[in-house]
Chain A
Amino acid sequence: MDPRFQTLQEVLQQVKGYIYPNEVELHWGLLVVVYPYLTGLVAGAFILASLERVFNVREVQPTYRLSLLTALAFLIVAPLPLLAHLGHPLRSFEIFLTPNLRSAMAMFGFVYAWYLMVVLLLEIWFDYRQDLVLWSRRESGPRKWLHRLLTLGATDLSEASLRFDRNAGKLITLIGIPSAFLLHGYVGFIFGSVKANPWWSSVLIPVVFLFSAIVSGIALVLLLYMFTSLVRRVEIDMTCADKLSSLLLYALIVDFSLEVLDFIHRLYESEESIKILSQMISAKLFLSLVVLQALLGTVVPILLLGLLSPAFRSRGLVEVPDELRRWAYVGAAVLIQIGIFSTRWNVVIGGQLFSKSLRGLTVYKMELTGLEGFFVSAALLILPFVVLYFLIKVLPPWQEGETAAQAGLAEVA
């Protein structure tokens, strides 16, 4: 038998109830799950960086540059799953050449470009400019030239010029926060405005997306911070880790409340789709929604962080040694990543599992190989870390670097 029919037959055996013929196979697969997950991490990491800058949360200062680089690394990779899914990557430039103002998906290209060029790159540039100049003065060989190129020739280190850097950085952060909201709210908007799909069509979706993005971003930076400290063999700054985990807890609580609100709202509205949706949750999404997303990805981390992190008073509700607390944070952050990935999975895959006839369910069969398969998605999830590695090599985000630079500045002065 033709292998395509083979898979079709396997799928058909698991189809339940009545579905239309074109609903058997899902059009949006794993790659489209990866995409909102990645953009969510971008927005979340950036909003964390903004906290330090705009709201002056001093404690998380050690992660400021790391969050910016993380956001950049993930932003660079974010469009790749879409390009792989759509094919014809060269055509993607058409959305800039012939902008279509009436298409939400097409305008997203501009939101993306704005965020990359005007927000992230500029903010990083202003923040690093002083260091770039100092590095290029001290170094030799290709690094010197690379860093000099990155200064764009703006080598003025006078007090007035540095003050301008700081002010410009602050201004960009101010613009950046609504932009980050826009970036990820937009992804939610695209799902939320699919009128015909009761699982997606909800005004709450953009907001829920946004807060889950913040949660995942903070958790990721927390993990990266711990991991890089371990690799570099430097002491983890516990006030920073404590503060991060408290922020994580607040965001998680807001996120959870919003999701519960959405859930209750659906139950109360009880539209004609409610029956098939509840069947879908109990039959197809039980593991990914109830177990992974709600229980392991939300409730357990809330309990862990609520008990151990100093979110409600100066110490945790339960006092434990630093070492144990660190492990608890790592555990919570990993669970949260799994939970948020499941959230994306449940939105994207869940929205296509039930029939528009509201009378049947299909199944999603993930492939291993092939462009839409598991391996490509796994590679796309690893790629941002590779990009981040190189970014860190070129633009070390560590504070020692900054202080060394300051020392260099003193020398120059």
Chain B
Amino acid sequence: MPQQVTRLAVVFGILILALVLARSQLVPKTFGQAGHYRAAAVTEIAAAKIHYAGHEACAACHEDIAKTRSAGRHRNVACEVCHGPAADHVAAPTDVHPSAPKQRGRCPQCHGYDSARPTGFPQIDPVTHNPVRPCISCHQPHAPETPREPEACGACHGSIARTHAVSAHALIGCTRCHETDRRHKTTPLLIRPSKPASRAFCAGCHARDAGSPKEIPRVDVTTHGERYVCWQCHYPHFPEAK
């Protein structure tokens, strides 16, 4: 056996031993029992203190509020989202009092304008929307309503409205293309506006023989993109001729 081999064997032996030792010391006992994680973590997490009681628990004592909420637009917003974890309060109602977000800061976390929010979600710009006064002075937090119905579609369709406002279609009002019942603004999920359904709709302005103003660019509707509806190629709220 050459000297080199024995010496290297010692070095590698020490390294491997160190690894085995480190593993035996540092790898948690229950690691790998149930997957690539520490199995005991599950029972540890299960044993952790419970902070949230869940909105069903609140209904037992705050029946009136629970009822109000379940009839309003916040019906899907759980109590503790606004009041914070309240398990302690459920256990000892008179000793522990949950907080309530009375200031302006909290509501915009959900209602501040953000283009990533789903279309139709009610959004405001917290800086310009009735500044300074607390939100709850005008909106009942448990069953929020807007004191008067919003005038602009952009209140809820902010992203579309902003895009539309700088598009070639900016001067065409939303309702020219979407017939909208007034009630859509108060019960938007139930009463829905119409949407253009066929090529003929766009052709009404863009066909060669349409009776619309001369400046509007024309296409030959019989041959132009004939196998698709127009909005498969042109985004109707920001049409581009590319």
| Residues on the A chain within 8 Å of B19, using CB | 96
Of residues 76 through 104 on chain A, the ones whose CB sits less than 8 Å from some CB of chain B are 93, 96-98, 100, 102
| Residues on the A chain within 8 Å of B23, using CB | 97
- Give the CA-CA distance A125 to B12 in the complex, in Å: 14
- Give the CA-CA distance A160 to B5 in the complex, in Å: 13
- Give the CA-CA distance A62 to B203 in the complex, in Å: 77
Pairwise interchain contact B36-A161, C-beta atoms closer than 8 A: no
| Residues on the A chain within 8 Å of B11, using CB | 152
- Give the CA-CA distance A20 to B15 in the complex, in Å: 48
- Give the CA-CA distance A70 to B19 in the complex, in Å: 28
- Indicate if A126 sits at the interface (CB-CB under 8 A): yes
Pairwise interchain contact B32-A153, C-beta atoms closer than 8 A: no
- Our pick among A102, A117, A152, A165 for the contact of B7 (Cβ within 8 Å) is A152
Interface size, chain A (Cβ < 8 Å)? 23
Q: Determine chain A's interface SS by DSSP, over half rule.
A: helix
- Give the CA-CA distance A295 to B219 in the complex, in Å: 43
- Indicate if B45 sits at the interface (CB-CB under 8 A): no
Pairwise interchain contact B22-A97, C-beta atoms closer than 8 A: yes
1/0 per residue, CB under 8 A from B, across A116-141: the answer is: 01000010011001000000000000
Pairwise interchain contact A161-B32, C-beta atoms closer than 8 A: no
- Give the CA-CA distance A21 to B113 in the complex, in Å: 13
Interface size, chain B (Cβ < 8 Å)? 21
1/0 per residue, CB under 8 A from A, across B1-43: the answer is: 0111011101110010001001100110001100010000000
Pairwise interchain contact B27-A164, C-beta atoms closer than 8 A: no
Pairwise interchain contact A21-B115, C-beta atoms closer than 8 A: yes
- Indicate if A26 sits at the interface (CB-CB under 8 A): no
Q: Which residue of A is nearest B4, CB measured? A: A154
- Our pick among A20, A102, A122 for the contact of B8 (Cβ within 8 Å) is A122
Of residues 131 through 181 on chain A, the ones whose CB sits less than 8 Å from some CB of chain B are 152-156, 160-161, 164-165, 168
- Indicate if B116 sits at the interface (CB-CB under 8 A): yes
Q: Can you list the 10 inter-chain pairs with the closest CB atoms, starting with the nearest?
A: A21-B116, A152-B7, A154-B7, A156-B3, A154-B3, A164-B2, A154-B4, A100-B36, A97-B27, A97-B23
User: Interface residues, chain A, CB within 8 Å of chain B?
Assistant: 20-21, 93, 96-98, 100, 102, 117, 122, 125-126, 129, 152-156, 160-161, 164-165, 168
User: Interface residues, chain B, CB within 8 Å of chain A?
Assistant: 2-4, 6-8, 10-12, 15, 19, 22-23, 26-27, 31-32, 36, 114-116
- For the complex with contacts A98-B36, A154-B7, A164-B2, 13 further pairs of A-B residues with Cβ separation under 8 Å are A20-B116, A21-B115, A96-B19, A97-B22, A97-B27, A102-B36, A125-B8, A152-B10, A153-B7, A156-B3, A156-B4, A161-B3, A161-B4
